[in-house]
Amino acid sequence: ISNVQSETTYTDYTTALEFAHNDVHGWVGGTMSDIMLSPSDPVFWLHHSQVDRLWSLWQAKAANAGKNPSLSGSDRTMDPWPETAAQVRSIATLGYSYGP
């Protein structure tokens, strides 16, 4: 995880984080390794909370401020919800935070 968090570009970071994310699904196995069933495993929610926390820590580093994907048109909308990526990018804006 320290290697993932040390990435300096958005693309390199998200690629490394996605590999780490996928590795956990495979490592846990069982329901977690099945893309259609994994949300029914309580570990799924713990794991995805950790991924979200890591993303928020990476975003909080001054050197990473403003590093986000370039989205345009319909790619900005979080289909099937009406919110755009920019509206849900900040956990502070969404009203939550992770402890120190």
pLDDT at 91 over 80: yes
Sign of CA dihedral 50, 46, 14, 89: negative
Please report the pLDDT score of residue 33 as a whole number. Answer: 96
Average pLDDT of the residues in 34-54: 96
Calpha distance 59→65 (Å, rounded): 6
pTM, two decimals, is 0.84
Band of pLDDT at residue 72, cut at 50, 70 and 90 = confident
Please report the pLDDT score of residue 18 as a whole number. Answer: 97
Average confidence score pLDDT of the chain: 92
pLDDT at 48 over 80: yes
